Homo-oligomer: A and B are copies of this chain.
Amino acid sequence: MQETMTDEMLELVAQRFRLLSDPMRLRILHHLQSGERSVGQLVEATGASQPNVSKHLSTLKMHGLVKRRQEGNMAYFSIGTPFVFDLCNSVCTNMQEEWQERQSVLGGNG
């Protein structure tokens, strides 16, 4: 973090993190990682309802995490800012490290 953090900056950063704090949104992003997907495909893949998927996509798009492309009847979404996966990877890595530490503390070295 920087030396000085204004209230507005804190609010914006928190907002960004809040976008990633929902499992369904993470699942959608995860499926988009392998490429562009239509709403229907995401509904199929996530098991969520179509309105729910559409709303999450709308939220993600509003904040630039996702891009939208229309083709006929269908709307295709894709990742807007690949850096989100860096964030997720960092969190995953850190969690794994903590688990390993905890395990070695609990279970000794055997």
Query: Which residues of A approach B to under 8 Å, CB–CB?
Result: 1-2, 5, 7, 9-18, 20-23, 26-27, 29-30, 33, 64, 81, 83, 85-92, 94-95, 98
Contacts and interface: CB of A to CB of B under 8 A. Distances in A.
Q: Which of A1, A9, A83 has the most CB of B within 10 A?
A: A1
B23 A14 contact: yes
Contacts of A18: 17-18, 21
| Interface SS of A by simple majority | helix
A92 B10 contact: no
A21 B14 contact: yes
Contact of A16 (B9, B81, B95): B95
A12 B88 contact: no
B2 A92 contact: yes
A16 B91 contact: yes
- 6 nearest A-B pairs in the assembled complex, by CB-CB distance: A18-B21, A17-B21, A17-B20, A10-B23, A1-B88, A14-B23
